[in-house]
Amino acid sequence: MVPYRFYDDEERRRWQNPEKILADIGLKPDLTFIDIGCGNGFFSIPAARQVGNKGKVYALDINDEAIDRLREKALKEGLTNIVLAIGEAEETILCRKCADVIFYGIVLHDFASPEKVLKNAEKMLKPTGRLVDLDWKKESIELGPPSRIKFSEDDATRLIKAAGFRIETVKAVGLYHYMVVAKL
């Protein structure tokens, strides 16, 4: 992954509402949610609340310090439905055909091989599941990574289609992001 500045949750909430985004993709109790490139849990923690005790959240990141911060947050809230994993998304299959939602929260453009990451998603997603890519618009702004590494909506949909997915929706999410929702 390409390293760049991490935002603390309070700062990030000024321009991104994880609970609303998760509700908009239909996350609800009892589902299994996989957060690839989860960082310190900006989406994993609210997802764990939304899926409840009978649901499950898998949270994967390459950064062990981010996973440690996520572990602390989960313990503080008493969330026991999060399975934490440290590793490269290109090399990690967290489960087979178990996920209702596989989520990339502003990270797909960061992977060394997004194609391989998406192929791994295909292995983890239930036949009825959805893949969600929330990412930065390919614009030059002060937030986020440099424009040169961002994927445009067309780039993202092309990659997702090439991995065997069918695009359901592509829409703007706030001022800085777009979201692609796809199915197998």
List C-alpha distances in Å: 126 to 95, 142, 184.
10, 37, 9
Output the DSSP codes for 11-38.
HHHTT--HHHHHHHTT--TT-EEEEET-
For residue 10, the tally of other CB atoms under 10 A from its CB is 7
SS3 content of the chain, % helix, strand, coil (to 5): 35, 25, 40
This prediction has a pTM of 0.94
Among all chains, which residue has been given the structure tokens 């439905």? Answer: 81
Q: Give 97-155 pLDDT, tens digit per residue.
A: 999 999 999 999 999 999 999 999 999 999 999 999 999 999 988 888 888 999 999 99
State yes or no: pLDDT of 2 exceeds 60.
Answer: no
Say which residue the tokens 């967290």 belong to: 94
> Are the CB atoms for 130 and 183 separated by under 8 Å?
yes
Model confidence band, residue 9 (pLDDT cutoffs 50, 70, 90) = confident
Closest-CA residue to 41 (of 24, 29, 57): 57
Domain at 11-173: CATH architecture: 3-Layer(aba) Sandwich (3.40)
Q: Cα-flanking dihedrals φ and ψ of residue 103, to 5°?
A: -125, 135
**Mean pLDDT of the region 70-89:** 97
Q: Is residue 116 packed enough to be buried (19+ CB in 10 Å), middle (13-18) or exposed (0-12)?
A: middle
Q: At residue 101, what are phi and psi to the nearest 5 degrees?
A: -140, 130
Residue 65 has pLDDT above 90, yes or no: yes
DSSP-based three-state secondary structure for 153: helix
Look at residue 7 in the predicted model and tell me its pLDDT: 65
